[in-house]
Structure 1
């Protein structure tokens, strides 16, 4: 079955795992930031792979550019410069494409992924200022991604909105037990309430990412209903799942690099993409473990 090409935009896939596959410098805690620091040509290569696969949106490699991943001292000395580098590399790749490719400026979780309790409201604005100042000359819109709570997401949204660029907010969902109902952020907040608050605060689109595909459909349905009742019923709705093997919650930071599920090959992932589009998603792509081959399968399935 083909996909209707008028209904959705194609986002890229995960950056960190692709850099690892390409042979780039890659380790925890720096994750994808290590390549940006030591071998940025790999970052350009990764972006190009997604453009070649059909991605219409590529995301800056700035997910790891936070103090807890690259260190407080390096962030203070080089944070803005590295953010500028991440934005510049993505823009250069997009500019070379023979079609329109947008650049999304990634604003990541500032105090560790999946840990809403670690959010420090007083420290967040200073970190966000560095990232936004470095990225903003190069991006078309902001993608505040892998947010575990509305507290962290709306803080970033307020900072990004000042630039005048559209702001997309993407939440990560509780998925450790394979749950589907009711869909919740990792903070325990209900998806429908989070979507309503996010649109009220000025987001242009709401997405869900870095969770297993099994939990995404319930969130998409809940979000579509909330968007329809919201102040912005034309807001975008996106999904980009990860391919992690299910893991129990852990309080140990950087416990290891998660395993990738063997069942989420391009053909099987495409089945999820079709479901989400049928449920109302207008932006689709992939997160950790979803690579160029998956994006190529989505692109190849479009109605010409």
Structure 2
């Protein structure tokens, strides 16, 4: 993996990076049942071709970056589901291969109408492995050293699989982000973006101010970008502004669609907020505010679709032509 920041390299060719949208939402639309502790990672063993199909749909929609299906994929998680450690390791690396295959089906060497899209290997938080919702709370039973050891094997497997960078995403605590930077320091040349889940416009999920997180990560080796994901649309603009006050790294945001998840009934409901639909109903609509606030990359998380990403890519194209 190159020591150069792949996001900054891509941003030399485009005004902002278009990140893909929800993987699980599209897999469910294809008829996949994801009601499982492994979530979309279960499809790595049961229907890998559908994961590749969704990645390709996002690349065709105009995404500059795909996030792999490894968010909830861990060796212990797969072993609890009955696989061997070797099978688990192979599936984690398969997640990168599937995204690379999808990219190769859409982008060809020498193509000049768009930069080569990136493959970002998802590193979900410890709470995602626990599958108890704690990626939105923090407060783990592991300290920083324990988190380093939890993440180490998947981290190294994904690097070895050839991803362009890692996507350490939906992190609820600064402690877990710092554990990721400890691993980056052990692997010179490795690059990762770090995005947090946030509970409001100023604080990540465990209550730590986002400014504190940005300041702590700003000069850590291997941190390619900082941002937020899996967060409600109304919070995004102020979170970007807070991060930007503390660092000059690219700021990435890929919020949820605006719907609200009920963990008790495991269902989604329309958002209840004071913002108008014209202001915040979609990624392209919010994009103007987010770019003005200092965002360098925009995409979608839960309940977003290739149609959302296509609208975002088309909006970027219209801005370039204006």
TM range (shorter): 0.7 to 0.9
Deviation per CA, 1:216-238: give whole Å up to 9, x if none. Answer: 111101111111xxxxx3x1111
Q: How does 1:1-304 map to 2 (within 5 A)?
A: 6-66=14-74, 70=78, 72=80, 74=82, 77=85, 78-98=87-107, 99=111, 100-112=116-128, 113-118=135-140, 120-121=142-143, 122-136=145-159, 137-163=161-187, 164-175=189-200, 180=201, 183-202=202-221, 203-227=223-247, 233=248, 235-243=249-257, 245-246=259-260, 255-259=264-268, 261=270, 268-302=282-316, 303-304=320-321
Asked whether the 8 Å contact 1:105–1:142 carries over to 2, the reply is: yes
Deviation, structure 1 residue 278:
1.5
Output the CA distance in 1 between the equivalents of 2:196 and 2:29: 26
Output the CA distance in 2 between the equivalents of 1:8 and 1:119: 38
Extract unaligned runs of 5+ from structure 2: 1-12, 129-134, 272-276
Please report the RMSD computed on the Cα atoms of aligned residues, expressed in angstroms. 2.5
Deviation, structure 1 residue 17:
1.1
Output the CA distance in 1 between the equivalents of 2:46 and 2:185: 31
Q: Which is worse superposed, 195-204 or 205-214?
A: 195-204
Deviation per CA, 1:35-82: give whole Å up to 9, x if none. Answer: 112111110001001001000100111011137865646576233211
Output the CA distance in 1 between the equivalents of 2:294 and 2:279: 23
Output the CA distance in 2 between the equivalents of 1:277 and 1:301: 12
Deviation, structure 1 residue 28:
2.9
Number of aligned residue pairs: 283
Output the CA distance in 1 between the equivalents of 2:279 and 2:53: 22
Output the CA distance in 2 between the equivalents of 1:81 and 1:171: 28
Deviation per CA, 1:244-267: give whole Å up to 9, x if none. Answer: 53468xxxxx64534053869996
Asked whether the 8 Å contact 1:141–1:165 carries over to 2, the reply is: yes
TM-score under structure 2 length normalisation: 0.80
Q: Specify whether residues 196 and 43 from structure 1 end up closer, same or farther in structure 2 by C-alpha distance, changes over 3 A only.
A: same
Extract unaligned runs of 5+ from structure 1: 228-232, 249-253
Asked whether the 8 Å contact 1:33–1:62 carries over to 2, the reply is: yes
- What is the DSSP-based 3-state SS (H/G/I as helix, E as strand, rest coil) of the residue aligned with 1:111? helix
In structure 2, the partner of 1:251 is none
TM-score under structure 1 length normalisation: 0.84
In structure 2, the partner of 1:230 is none
Runs of 4+ residues deviating >6 angstroms = 262-267
Deviation, structure 1 residue 105:
1.2
Deviation, structure 1 residue 206:
0.4
